[in-house]
Structure 1
Amino acid sequence: MLKIVFLHPDLGIGGAERLVVDAALALQLKGHQVHIVTSYHDPAHCFPETRDGTIPVTISGNWLPRSIFGRFLALCAYIRMLWASFYTVFLSDMQPQVYFCDQVSMCIPVLRLSTSVPVIYYCHFPDLLLASHKTWIKKLYRAPLDWIEEKTTGLATTTVVNSHFTAGVFCDTFKSIRRRPKVLYPSLNFRSFDRECGNSLSSVIGTKQVMDFVFLSINRYERKKNLGLAIKAFGLLKSFLGDAKIHLIMVGGYDYRLVENVEHYDELQKLTSSLQLGDCVTFLRSPSDETKTCLLKNCHTLLYTPDKEHFGIVPLEAMYCQLPVIAVNSGGPLETVEDHRTGYLCNPTVEDFAEKMKYLYDNRNIATKMGERGRQRVIEHFSFNSFSQQLNELVGELTASRT
Structure 2
Amino acid sequence: MAQKKSIVFFHPDLGIGGAERLVIDAAVGLQARGHKVTIFTSHCDPGHCFEEARDGTLDVRVRGNSLVPSSIFGRFAILCAILRQLHLVCIVALWNYELDHLRPTHFFVDQLSAAVPLLRFLYTDVGILFYCHFPDQLLAQKGEGAIAVLKKGYRVPFNAIESWSTASSHGIVVNSKFTGGVVKRVFPRLAKRDLKVVYPCVDTSTANQLQKKSMWSGRKVILSINRFEKKKDVALAVKAFASLDAPIRKSALLVIAGGYDPRVQENVNTHQELQQLADSFKLSHETHKSLPDPSAISENTSVLCLLSVPDTLKQSLLASADLLVYTPQNEHFGIVPLEAMLAQVPVLAANEGGPLETVVEGETGWLRDVRKPEEWAAVMSRVLSHPNPAELRKMGENGRKRVQGEFSKEQMALRLDQSLDQVSDPHKKPQEPPTIPSWLWMVIIVAIVAISLSLGATWLLFFLLNQSKAMQDSIQQHNAAQTITEQVIAVTTQIVKNEL
TM-score by length of 1: 0.87
1:205-220 matches, cutoff 5 A = 210=217, 212-220=219-227
Q: 1:400 to 1:104 in 2, by over 3 A?
A: closer
Q: Distance in 1 between matches of 2:280 and 2:113?
A: 43
How big is the shift at 1:267? 4.0
Percent of paired sites with the same residue: 44
Verify: 1:33 aligned to 2:36, yes or no: yes
Q: 1:242 to 1:323 in 2, by over 3 A?
A: closer
Which of 226, 230, 248 is the equivalent residue of 2:254?
248
How big is the shift at 1:150? 0.5
Q: 1:307 to 1:398 in 2, by over 3 A?
A: same
Q: Quote the RMSD (CA, aligned, Å).
A: 2.8
Structure with greater Cα Rg: 2
How big is the shift at 1:169? 1.7
How big is the shift at 1:161? 0.7
Q: 1:115 to 1:123 in 2, by over 3 A?
A: same
**8 A contact 2:213–2:319 mirrored in 1:** no
**8 A contact 2:125–2:425 mirrored in 1:** no
2:419: which partner in 1?
394
**8 A contact 2:127–2:425 mirrored in 1:** no
1:223-302 matches, cutoff 5 A = 223-237=230-244, 239=246, 241-244=248-251, 246-254=252-260, 258-272=264-278, 274-275=280-281, 276-278=283-285, 279-302=301-324
Unpaired segments of 5 or more residues in structure 1?
203-208
- Higher alpha-carbon deviation: 258-267 or 41-50: 258-267
- Higher alpha-carbon deviation: 137-146 or 43-52: 43-52
- Higher alpha-carbon deviation: 246-255 or 361-370: 246-255
| Moved segments of 4+, more than 6 Å | none
**8 A contact 2:196–2:419 mirrored in 1:** no
Aligned length: 395
1:2-401 matches, cutoff 5 A = 2-62=5-65, 64-91=68-95, 93-94=98-99, 95=102, 96-112=104-120, 113-133=122-142, 135-177=148-190, 178-195=192-209, 202=215, 210=217, 212-237=219-244, 239=246, 241-244=248-251, 246-254=252-260, 258-272=264-278, 274-275=280-281, 276-278=283-285, 279-348=301-370, 349-363=372-386, 364-399=389-424
The one-character-per-residue Cα deviations of 1:279-333 (angstroms, maximum 9, x if unpaired) are 3433344444333333323322111111111111221121111111000000111
**8 A contact 2:171–2:419 mirrored in 1:** no
- Match of 1:375, SS? helix
Q: 1:285 to 1:9 in 2, by over 3 A?
A: farther
- Match of 2:202, SS? coil
Q: Distance in 1 between matches of 2:396 and 2:126?
A: 44
Partner amino acid for 1:249? Answer: V
- Higher alpha-carbon deviation: 88-97 or 366-375: 88-97
- Higher alpha-carbon deviation: 94-103 or 266-275: 266-275
**8 A contact 2:337–2:359 mirrored in 1:** yes
Q: Which has the higher helix share?
A: 2
Unpaired segments of 5 or more residues in structure 2?
286-300, 429-500
**8 A contact 2:345–2:396 mirrored in 1:** yes
